Chain A
C-alpha cells in the first residue's frame, strides 16, 4: 500500500511540474477567494436585512433560525484538511486543490440525508421545529381539500370499477404533497404536473364537476375528450395539461421559469414527478438546464417508493433523489411527504428562494403510494398487502393533519361529518351530470392539430363524415356528427 501511495505522490508531482506554467498559484492565496465565491449567498444576506417584506405571509412566528436553514451548507470540512505543500490549479471551472492521497469519493454517505418534518406521528408539532406558520383559514382549507381529494379518488375509483369511466388513478397517500405544496404557492405560480397531483388543481378551484367532465371525456372537458381520464389541464388555473409520458414536463418547467425570470414576474414554476421519473434523461436535462440558466423553478419529487411495480431499489443506488441536486449545483431538501406542515414550510421557503435569488430548488418528498399505480394495476402482485395497509392507516397524512387542527380546536367530529356528506353529495351529482353531457363533436378530431386545419385534414374530415353517414352503426351514437 505504501508503495502505491508513494507512486501516486510522484505522479502528482510530475503533473504539477508539467502544468505549472498554466497558472499555478500559491495555496496561501486561495482560501480567501474561496470564501468570496462561496459565502452565505448575497440573497440570503438580503433576506436578513428585510425579513418582513420577504415573508409577509408568515409574520409573527417566524424564527430567525429559518434563515440559517435556507442558506446553502458551506463545505467547511474540505477547508480544514489541506496540506501546506499542496497546490492549487486554476482549471476551467475554478481552482482545484491537488491531493497526494489516492482516494475515491464515497458513492454513498455514511448516513442517509435527514428528512425534515414538523408534525410527529400524533400530529403534534415537534419541539424546536423551524416552520412557517399556517393560519386557521388556510389550515382548514388544506384539510378540507385533502379530505375532498381522498373522497374524489374513492368515488372515481368505484366509478371506474363500475365501468362508468375507462380509467382512473388515485393519489391516496400523497394528499399532503398535493395540497400542502399547492397551499404554499400563489395562483401566479405555474404548475407542470405529472399525473398524481390533481390536488393542486383542486386547491386552485377546479371544481368536482370539472374533474368529472374530464374523466368522462364529455363536451365540457377542456381537453375535448382527446385524452384518457385524469389528464387534467386548466389555463385559468395555470396548470399545464397532463401527458402520460414520464418526466417530459420537467424541462418545460425550466423553460417557463426562465421566461418568468426574464419578465421579472413575482412567480415561479413548480413541477412534480415520481421517483421513477428521476431515471429519465429529461429529469437530468432539466436540473442541469435550471442550474445553468438560474431558473426560478421548484422540482418536487414524490418519492413514493414505486414506479408501477419497480421499487426504488431497482430504480437507483443513490440515497434517493435529494442527493442528485447537489451534483447539479441545486439546493435541495428531503421532506416527510406525509407531513403537511413540513411540506408547506419547505415549499413556501423554496418559493421565496427561487423568486428572490433566481435559483432552482429540489424537494424530495418521501411518501408511499397507497393506491395501485392505476386501475390497470394490482399492486398486491408485487408488494405485501400488509405494507399497504400500514401506510394507509398508520401513516395517513390526512389523519395526521387532522390531529393537529383538532389539537388547535379548529376541527371536530361534527364538522368532519358535514364535510364528508357534502363532498359525497357533490361528487355523485358531478358524476351524474358529467355522464349526461354529450360527447365533444366529431369536428374536434380535426381542430387544434394546427392553429388552422390544413387541406389534408379538411379532406379527411369530409371523407370521415361520408363514411359515418354510410355506416352510422359503426360509430358511437353519443358523439355528435
Chain B
C-alpha cells in the first residue's frame, strides 16, 4: 500500500511506510514546515480543524469517550487544555447517550461535535441518529433543528481490527433523509470537509479513514478554510473508465489506475466526498465521457452505497454505457481478522475489473 504513489499527482497525500498505528498515543504528532502550510498527517489535520472550530465559535463543544485526554487516536489532543473541561469532555461509555445529549445541545443553537470512538460502535446510537437527529427539523415544521450536530467516527480497515474495529457502516446512514454523510480522503480534505460539516446547518455523520490517520501526509494550509459538501471531485482525469470511491479506498483505486495506465487504459477517478446528498451530476458527466463505471468500497457489496450509485447512473446513462457497472467491494461476510487481505477490495481485484470492463 505504501510508497507506490511517488511520481503521481499527490491527490491522496503521501502515504508513510509505517502504517498500522492506531491507538498508539506515544507517536509524535507529525508536523514539518513548508512554504504554503505544514505537512500534516490526517489526525493532526482533524485536530487542527477542531481547534479552529472551537476557536471560531464559542458555542462549540467536543465530547465523547476518552476525548478529554486527546482520544484513542489523538484527534482531540490539546483541546481540553486549550478550551477547558466544560467545552471538551469525556462522556460515559454510552453511544446513545452521546448522540442523544448532542442532539439536545445542538437544538439549543450550539455546535455539538460528538465523537464515536469507532464506527463499529455507532449502532447503539442508531435510533438517536435515524429517528431523532435526521427528523428533528422536518417533524417540527422547521420550528426546531439540530443542525449544529456533527458525529465523528473512525471507520474502515486498519490491518488488524477484526470484526469490531474495521467496519464501514456508511450505507446504513445513506438511507436516512435528513442526514449528511461525509468521508474525507486525505489530511487537507479532512480539515476542510470537517469544518464544513461542523458549520453545516444539518446533522452530519463524518467518517474518518482511521488507516490514514498517521499514514497519509499532505501539506495542509494552516488557516481556516472549508471545502464544499455534496460536491464530488475528479481527482484524476481519464477517458476509458470512471472509477468512483471515497475515503481510504481511493488510494487503492489510484494504484489500480496507475497500473492500468501501464496497460494503456486511461482511468478517471472521482472522490465522492459526500455520500448523501451526493453529486450525481459530476459522476454522470464523467460516465457520459468514458462510457464505463466502476465503484469500489470496503463495505460489503450487497446493499452498499455502490449499488445506489450504480442504479442511478444506469438510469441516467443507460444508452451511453458500454459495459455493465462493476462493483469491487468488501465480501458479504463480517470483517474477518486474519482474512483481511482476502476480504478487502484490493488493487488487483480493481485492476482486473477495470480490464474486464474496458474489454467487455
Contact A234–B108 (Cβ < 8 Å)? no
- Picked from A254, A449, A456, the residue with its CB within 8 Å of the CB of B100 is A254
Contact A289–B107 (Cβ < 8 Å)? no
Question: Is the CB of A262 closer than 8 A to any CB of chain B?
Answer: yes
Contact B107–A256 (Cβ < 8 Å)? yes
Contact B132–A245 (Cβ < 8 Å)? yes
Question: Is the CB of B300 closer than 8 A to any CB of chain A?
Answer: no
Question: Given the complex of chains A and B, what is the CA–CA distance between A354 and B152 in angstroms?
Answer: 31
Contact A254–B132 (Cβ < 8 Å)? no
Question: Given the complex of chains A and B, what is the CA–CA distance between A281 and B109 in angstroms?
Answer: 26
Question: Is the CB of B94 closer than 8 A to any CB of chain A?
Answer: yes
Contact B100–A243 (Cβ < 8 Å)? no
Known interface pairs A255-B103, A255-B112, A450-B277. Does A233 touch B92 (Cβ–Cβ under 8 Å)?
no
A264 to chain B, nearest CB (A): 11
Q: What A residues does B112 contact at CB under 8 A?
A: 255
Contact B96–A285 (Cβ < 8 Å)? yes
Contact B138–A252 (Cβ < 8 Å)? no
Q: Give residues 94-130 of B contacting A (CB, 8 Å).
A: 94, 96-97, 99-110, 112, 124, 127-128
Which of A248, A258, A260 has the most B CB atoms < 10 Å from its CB?
Answer: A258
Q: What B residues does A235 contact at CB under 8 A?
A: 140, 143-144
Q: Mark A94-115, 1 if CB is under 8 A from B, else 0.
A: 0000000000000000000000
- Picked from A233, A252, A253, the residue with its CB within 8 Å of the CB of B132 is A252
Question: Is the CB of B156 closer than 8 A to any CB of chain A?
Answer: no
Question: Is the CB of A223 closer than 8 A to any CB of chain B?
Answer: yes
For B179, the closest partner residue in chain A by CB is A450
Contact A282–B142 (Cβ < 8 Å)? no
Q: What B residues does A192 contact at CB under 8 A?
A: 104
Question: Is the CB of B242 closer than 8 A to any CB of chain A?
Answer: no
Q: What A residues does B106 contact at CB under 8 A?
A: 255
B336 to chain A, nearest CB (A): 29
Contact A233–B135 (Cβ < 8 Å)? no
For A245, the closest partner residue in chain B by CB is B131
Question: Is the CB of B38 closer than 8 A to any CB of chain A?
Answer: no
- Picked from A224, A251, A451, A456, the residue with its CB within 8 Å of the CB of B201 is A451
Interface residue range, chain A:
35 or more
Contact B141–A448 (Cβ < 8 Å)? yes
- Picked from B91, B104, B139, B147, the residue with its CB within 8 Å of the CB of A241 is B139
Which of B94, B100, B107, B180 has the most A CB atoms < 10 Å from its CB?
Answer: B100
Question: Given the complex of chains A and B, what is the CA–CA distance between A231 and B202 in angstroms?
Answer: 22
Q: Give residues 100-155 of A contacting B (CB, 8 Å).
A: none
Contact A254–B104 (Cβ < 8 Å)? yes
Question: Is the CB of A53 closer than 8 A to any CB of chain B?
Answer: no
Question: Given the complex of chains A and B, what is the CA–CA distance between A454 and B178 in angstroms?
Answer: 10
Q: What B residues does A448 contact at CB under 8 A?
A: 137-138, 141-142
- Picked from A224, A258, A456, the residue with its CB within 8 Å of the CB of B105 is A258
Can you list 29 pairs linking A and B with CB atoms under 8 Å apart?
A: A222-B140, A223-B140, A226-B139, A227-B139, A233-B140, A233-B141, A243-B132, A245-B132, A248-B100, A248-B128, A251-B101, A253-B104, A255-B101, A255-B105, A256-B108, A259-B110, A282-B128, A285-B92, A285-B100, A286-B97, A286-B101, A288-B97, A289-B92, A289-B101, A292-B91, A447-B142, A449-B177, A450-B180, A456-B280
Q: A289-B100, A455-B277 are known; give 18 further A-B pairs, CB within 8 A.
A: A192-B104, A221-B141, A233-B141, A233-B144, A235-B140, A235-B144, A240-B107, A243-B135, A255-B103, A255-B105, A255-B108, A258-B105, A262-B86, A281-B124, A285-B92, A285-B94, A292-B92, A457-B277
